[in-house]
Structure 1
């Protein structure tokens, strides 16, 4: 068994116990995500916080400064090294991680070392309703306070150690005031859709160097505000024989009473480029299984990269597959949704196209949308064209979504659109650099309104915090 497998096995044992939080019961494997503060069990009134980027526990009260309250607030997100565990992101965008056993705040570099150092697996604390946080990559060590400083120390089976390493999750000292990101943590390339009375988001899991994330998750909501995390729905390492990383830009469509997930993937060995695959499930929340056991589209089969798939189904029931980076392609899918006639593939030519095709229909007009520039560029933006059919021809209309520097919003792109059923209300999901310290591999997902002018053109989309 290799080191990664051993770590996963140990962390799985750790998270198997049950934790009950004061406000919301949860098992240790499903610790609630979102904004929280963490109070010391044996020093009530002292909370985990950072001071000069070093972790410690300090008194925080209603009379404390806004800075102290902010420093004692963290967003609990899926673990950077494992979705079965958790990471803690401060309000300044940095992550709590251990280095030389000391807890400190640092920017997510996306490296395997950082991801492991910043991931903790929960187990029962010393008193009911408390949690103890076990280091993901050093499962014999736990986060504890020592002289009010935070360290990752070797576990000691003593009452003192158990108390020093136990914390209660409480309401955040600094409640979330902005509506975005809509799902806590680092995600990108969101595909938003509507199935059976609920909205669903399928994003790329972000925060990995070279965008090497190995799995996809699904989220759902009844109101586009409160989202439920349904966990991992497809894992390249476990579920896909031909890919083990680069789980990029999923898109899900319902057809034939089933759900089809189109995705991009690559292999760590061989470096043969990215392929495009398709998986199938009886549920929008999976689990999905590889439908073909091989790529649907091989790297190099067509110009550009075989990434960023999207499926549009027209009113007559015909579905079309769009994909590409550097060059956009489209082909009608066969009724089985997992095959097509290669002779029917067409290349779409629109000025400025980079990636992330998306197609919708409103009234009798088809809209072909895409992202321009590079996702690492703060000028990453969304443009669109209109046409008379899913195959065009397309007339470019301009840019509709771009950065808003006065709010610190950069890199707005790789979007998708959903219509509120039975209405002319539309919403756009997209990613941006995580605010305030994000980058092209540290992105977050948000949702805003999209409206149309009287002439059918899309009004500029205003990105908001």
Structure 2
């Protein structure tokens, strides 16, 4: 029997402000950094949290253990799939996630449902000995991940009270198997828009892992070195904050003008815009309606991108199936609908992204379907923000020898005061992802002497 999850926070909308009131909870010093980790039982010497035949357990692991055993005892720690301050999730090397079902802990593929996300999220608490942690169920407060006869369960703390604290405590240590460099953002995120703003790099992605791409929250991440990323949490939740959309929060982009930041996003297959005085929000909707409404043109009105030229004029691009562009007015939240251009781009599917280098305009875009391993990036060049566009071919594609599938929905950023460029994109989560379980990464982008782009090499 499933119990109703217990709410941990209440979001209240007051005018243009969003206030989150969190129920009082004790302070905890314990934390688990994201990345590859192994967790050792505090009271069963040499035993580690692991999975076997998709069931969670603890088992002995040592330097002489097989590569498979070591891999089974290594998890990638990510921010909690269901959110929550100080909460985390655990992804195995096969791409599945630790979750509890009927209180038994097992590995399963992320179904993207609210139940799954909550079942796979654990909040970090202080352990029974110094330096150890306990993992409290996100949706069943008072129940903790613990080993019972070597099996992993989510049990109430009243179970075997004499040994429960130790049975539910783990030391977080070096992973038995080294983690990959990527994804650069731990967890399931797609459609990344990368930008350099106010002295930092920012990534604004789609929050992934939902059936039908039905997520509602946008988050922001920032970095000074493209390696270590700070999670700034939810900056816009279309459910409570946008009157005309409640889900399908996809593919955002950001621009800066007029001393403000403008966040363009897809919501319920419309395009909206929200504004803030900081790259991390809080963002509010100045229009109360879509900027580009569903049905305005043929195809889906999704995947916005804003390019600001060196003369300060900004242009909005968007489309799925058809590619469109228009000059934005100086207020950044309006345009002349009669001036919308339709572009002829070979193989275009979605995700138009324009940038400029040495007076050449580059139109990059995604080809095929995001659910296909053949999803990839092509590009064209032109002499103006509206072309005419000359097709140049593919610059990013799958590499099955590395398990890289569906790399696309790209964005591009230039390092300040340099001619160093990077492409951010998503791919199927490795090794068991698909079109709704994707991860974000970054690779260098290089140019030939004639200005054409060299193939981007996808890496792990």
TM-score after normalising by structure 2:
0.92
Aligned to 2:7: 7
Show the counterpart of 1:38.
Answer: 39
Q: Which whole-Å CA distance do the structure 2 matches of 1:253 and 1:17 have between them?
A: 39
- CA offsets per residue over residues 205-234 of structure 1, 9 Å max, x none? 111100111111111111111212111111
Instruction: Say whether the 8 Å CA contact 1:20–1:128 is kept in structure 2.
Output: no
Q: Secondary structure at the match of 1:246?
A: coil
- Contact kept in structure 1, 2:29 and 2:125, CA below 8 Å: no
CA apart distance, 1:15: 8.9
Partner SS for 1:160: helix
CA distance in 2, matches of 1:401, 1:255: 31
Aligned to 1:248: 250
Does the CA-based 8 Å contact 1:19-1:130 persist in structure 2?
A: no
Which residue matches 1:208? 210
**CA shift in 2, pair 1:100/1:14, >3 Å:** farther
Contact 1:20/1:130 (<8 A) preserved? no
The equivalent position to 1:342 in structure 2, one of 337, 347, 361, is: 337
Aligned to 1:402: 397
* Cα distance in 2 for residues equivalent to 1:217 and 1:384: 28
> Is 1:446 paired with 2:441?
yes
**Structure-2 residue corresponding to 1:172:** 175
The DSSP-based 3-state class of the residue aligned with 1:20 is coil
Residue deviations 1:327-371 (CA, integer Å, cap 9, x gap): 111111111111111111111121211100000111111111110
- C-alpha distance 134-364 of structure 1, shift in aligned 2 (>3 A): same
| SS of residue matched to 1:115 | helix
2:425 equivalent to 1:422 = no
TM-score normalised by structure 1 residue count: 0.91
CA spacing shift, 1:285–1:9, aligned 2, 3 Å: closer
Unaligned runs of at least 5 residues, structure 2: 11-20
Q: Identify the range of structure 1 (119-128 vs 209-218) with the bigger mean alpha-carbon deviation.
A: 119-128
Distance in 2 between the 1:122 and 1:420 partners? 36
1:150 aligns with 2:152: yes
> Contact between 2:84 and 2:123, CA under 8 Å: does it hold in 1?
no
Correspondence for 2:29 among 5, 20, 23: 20
Is 1:413 paired with 2:414?
Answer: no
1:77-116 matched pairs, under 5 angstroms? 77-84=78-85, 85-116=87-118
Q: Deviations over 1:169-219 (max 9, x none)?
A: 22322222x321111111100001111222111111111100111111111
Cα separation, 2, equivalents of 1:376 and 1:438: 10
Give deviations 1:258-308, integer Å, cap 9, x for gaps.
111100112xxxxxxx11111111111222222322211111112211111
2:426 is aligned to 431
Deviations 1:8-49 (A, max 9, x none): 449x9689433334xxxx5xxxx5322222222323432211
* C-alpha contact (below 8 Å) 1:358/1:368 kept by paired residues: yes
Is 2:306 aligned against 1:311? yes
CA distance in 1, matches of 2:4, 2:215: 15
Alpha carbons of 1:279 and 1:212: their partners in 2 closer, same or farther (altered >3 Å)?
same
Over 6 Å off, 4+ runs: 12-15
C-alpha spacing 1:232/1:282, structure 2 compared with 1 (3 Å): same
- Using the TM superposition, name which of 303-312 and 223-232 deviates more: 223-232
Query: 1:300: which partner in 2?
Result: 295
User: Aligned pairs, how many?
Assistant: 447
Q: 1:159 to 1:290 in 2, by over 3 A?
A: farther
Partner Cα distance (1:453, 1:464) in 2: 20
Aligned to 1:260: 262
